Amino acid sequence: MELTWLGHACFRLRSREATIVTDPYEAGSGYPTLKLTANIVTVSHADPRHSAAAAIGGSPRVIDRPGEYEIAGVPIIGVRTYRDREKGATLGKNVSFVFTVEDMQIGHLGNLGHVPNAEQAEALTGLDVLLIPVGGRVTLDAKLAAETISLLQPRLVVPMHFATPREKEDLDGIDRFLREMGLAAAEPQPRLSVTKSSLPDSVQVVVLAPPS
């Protein structure tokens, strides 16, 4: 499986089964215009920086709500979560997704704004790769992201939704999250290629470079 971060909360996930794009953003968001095709697009909430599914070619199936699905041979679970700590009263609802590809479970938390409760954690536990917002303000901040990681215990953690030179939203930088995880620094990688056999035995953070 190959994972590329396209900025904000948008990733392209390429597997033997299908190509998945998460939370595509509209043109003018600060990041390069998306020119992608996919089988599946997931949308965590109805914000143009997360829901520009029309920008993705290939006539993908779009999922934007909780439930259980199977598309192009990929089992998908959408988990009802929220963008704040008041069950959506302030910022609204969110959907976190779990994909099963190449015998691995990949979780994309969308704009999650709270540590998952017991029911949500049960659906999100056992992940091999966790894509988690860490920039605070309108999502998890570094401290809450670290608490969520401790709760879910994924094998690989890929932070997203943090400040970069192209990011227009006012977000915290990656350094605060790395310090919270006990890391001095991390060398950004252009992409993540992972197989079931290459997964680490304990939690490991991988920082992906945003598009230039």
pLDDT of residue 184: 86
Taking the CA atoms of residue 116, residue 133, residue 147 and residue 187 in that order, the dihedral angle to the nearest 10 degrees is 150
In a domain, 85, yes or no: yes
Model confidence, pTM: 0.97
In a domain, residue 211? The reply is: no
- pLDDT score recorded for residue 211: 85
Q: Tell me if 210 is assigned to some domain.
A: no
Q: Kindly state whether residue 82 falls inside one of the protein's structural domains.
A: yes
Beta pairing class for 40-42 and 56-57 = unpaired
CATH number for position 196: 3.60.15.10
CB burial string 37-47: b at 16+ within 10 A, e below: ebbbbbbbbeb
130: Cβ contacts below 8 Å, ≥ 6 apart: 107, 109, 149, 152, 154, 156, 157, 158
Classify residue 212: in a domain, yes or no.
no
Q: Give the range of the structural domain holding residue 164, as residue numbers without chain letter.
A: 2-205
The total domain count for the chain is 1
Q: Dmax of the chain from CA atoms?
A: 43
Sheet holding 104-108, edge to edge: 67-71, 74-82, 93-101, 104-108, 129-133, 156-160, 204-205
Residue 91 within any structural domain of the chain:
yes
What is the phi/psi pair of residue 180, to 5°?
-60, -30
Tokens of 174: 């990656």
Looking at the domain assignment, is residue 55 inside a domain?
yes
Confidence at residue 23, expressed as pLDDT on a 0 to 100 scale:
98
At residue 174, the pLDDT reads 96
Q: Classify residue 211 as exposed, middle or buried by CB count within 10 Å of its CB (0-12, 13-18, 19+).
A: middle
CB 198 within 8 A of CB 2: no
What is the DSSP-derived secondary structure letter of residue 207? Answer: P
Please say whether the beta carbons of 22 and 108 come within 8 A.
yes
Q: What is the pLDDT along the chain (212 residues), one digit of tens a residue?
A: 999 999 999 999 999 999 999 999 998 888 999 999 999 999 999 999 999 999 999 999 999 999 999 999 999 999 999 999 999 999 999 999 999 999 999 999 999 999 999 999 999 999 999 999 999 999 999 999 999 999 999 999 999 999 999 998 999 999 999 999 999 888 999 999 999 999 999 999 999 998 87
Mention every residue, 6+ apart, whose C-beta is less than 8 A from residue 28: none
